[in-house]
């Protein structure tokens, strides 16, 4: 059997959100067959074509030969649920998930999941209701692409889902930390210089004094290196806030 378009939840999305409910597998029936007394079949949830389930009843999903979309024939594994995107891609995610993303390159929707509801099979599927996503669209300082940042506060670090690089959302955080590390680093170096000048005679008799010098210089060097990191970090700026 070919690959089924059944995906787990990715990250990195670009389209508007949709509110969807968990999709339940439809019941399958049996039709008469010249080769056997009955053959189990099921209707495709996308194009309503009949799918032959002969030899496939052990699977959780089957692939339609007409539209090439997946249809569940069993309940999802424990702690999971099925969700179908508006592009007809069948997804599987945790039953506690609130947001998932469609992995198809031509879709990339953010899907906001509503509460789990058991919908009778004879009842038609409920239309999806578009809602605004919580969070902020941020322009990556590395690659220039826009991604959705779910934190409701700025001055944090964010990992771009496109280039996988880390940047600061807003410039206040790196500026503050750079100044703080420079200050602490210079204080440690001045302490090291003071110890070196003031304890030279003492250090000739007690060589353990050299350890305190090394610790002071090492702390100062580490803080200055961290200051250089925060001073050179790329900054991503929010494009528009939905909060």
| Angle formed at CA 224 by CA 219 and CA 227, multiple of 5 degrees | 130
Q: Pick the catalytic residue: 85, 89, 93, 140?
A: 93
93 part of the active site: yes
Distance CA 116, CA 21 (A): 6
Own/partner pairs for 213-220, CB < 8 Å, 24+ apart?
A: 216/188, 216/189, 216/191, 216/192, 217/188, 217/189, 217/192, 219/184, 219/185, 219/188, 220/184, 220/185, 220/186, 220/187, 220/188, 220/189, 220/191, 220/192
97: closest CA among 6, 20, 12? 20
Report CA-CA distances (Å) from 63 to 3, 33, 90. 8, 21, 11
Strand 99-101 and strand 109-113: pairing? antiparallel
Helix (H, G, I), strand (E, B), or coil: what is residue 41?
Answer: strand
Active-site residues, by number, are: 93
């Amino acid at each position: 059997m070919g690959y089924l378009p059944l995906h787990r939840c990715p990250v990195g999305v670009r389209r508007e959100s949709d509110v969807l409910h968990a999709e339940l597998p439809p019941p399958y029936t049996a039709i008469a067959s010249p080769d056997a007394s009955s053959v189990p079949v099921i209707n495709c949830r996308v194009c309503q074509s009949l799918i032959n389930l002969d030899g496939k009843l052990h699977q959780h999903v089957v692939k339609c030969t007409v539209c090439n979309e997946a249809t569940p024939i069993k309940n999802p594994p424990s702690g999971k649920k099925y969700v179908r995107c508006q592009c007809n891609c069948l997804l599987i995610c945790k039953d506690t998930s609130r947001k998932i993303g469609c992995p198809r390159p031509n879709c990339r929707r953010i899907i906001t999941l509503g509460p789990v509801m058991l919908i009778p099979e004879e009842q038609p599927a409920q239309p999806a209701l578009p809602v605004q996503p919580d969070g902020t669209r941020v322009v990556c300082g590395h690659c220039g692409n826009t991604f959705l940042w779910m934190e409701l506060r700025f001055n944090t670090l964010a990992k771009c889902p496109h280039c996988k690089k880390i940047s600061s959302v807003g410039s206040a955080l790196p500026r503050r930390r750079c100044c703080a590390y420079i200050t602490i680093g210079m204080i440690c170096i001045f302490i090291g210089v003071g110890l070196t000048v003031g304890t030279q005679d003492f250090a000739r008799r007690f060589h353990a004094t050299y350890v305190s010098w090394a610790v002071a210089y090492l702390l100062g060097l580490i803080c200055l290196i961290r200051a250089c990191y925060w001073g050179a970090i790329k900054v991503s700026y929010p494009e528009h806030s939905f909060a």
